[in-house]
Amino acid sequence: MRFSTSLGFAFLLAATLAGKLLAADAAPPRDESLFLRTAAGVAAKAGLTPRFGRSKLGSVLHAHAPGCSLMLREATEGSTFAPAYSRLAKAVGPVRYVYRGRVSGDAPNMLASADHQLWRGLHRLGIATRRHPVAAVATSSGCEGRSFDWSPLASLPG
């Protein structure tokens, strides 16, 4: 009796999970080009010349001015890829994170993750909301006197 109950429960669990997986939409598409274009505008306003590139972790923005270099990418995954971001940006400088217009030395894990999951869930329900991306930004020491207005990246159309 005990074996058949466990087997029945396992079957019910598998059927339920399979149904959820089949019914779930894929993650909503992020407009990565909008994110990078917006970031390029921030860099240009600070007097840097932006250019777009690719790395092992996807699209990246490089921006330069005499004595100042910036490297930026979207970091929605929070701290999951923080060591990789730091390794790839080592030649530029330390990585900081920008979320909702604020700069931090640490990736905004809990709040940013909950915010991203809420955005995904609402998208699955057909409710269009703005998204709040996380940016991983490395700047060289020569950028210290420059002012970067990160507010345009705080909220993007989703």
Pull the structure tokens for residue 32: 């990565």
Q: Residue 146 pLDDT more than 50?
A: yes
Measuring CA to CA, which residue among 69, 50, 83 is closest to residue 138? 69
Residue 118: phi and psi, rounded to 5, are -65, -45
Average pLDDT over residues 123-139: 92
Q: In this predicted model, what pLDDT tens digit does every residue of 80-95 receive, in sequence order?
A: 788 888 898 999 999 9
Q: What's the pLDDT score for residue 11? A: 57
Q: Is 123 helix (H, G, I), strand (E, B) or coil?
A: helix
Confidence of residue 15 (pLDDT cuts 50, 70, 90): low
C-beta of residue 123 within 8 angstroms of C-beta of residue 28? yes
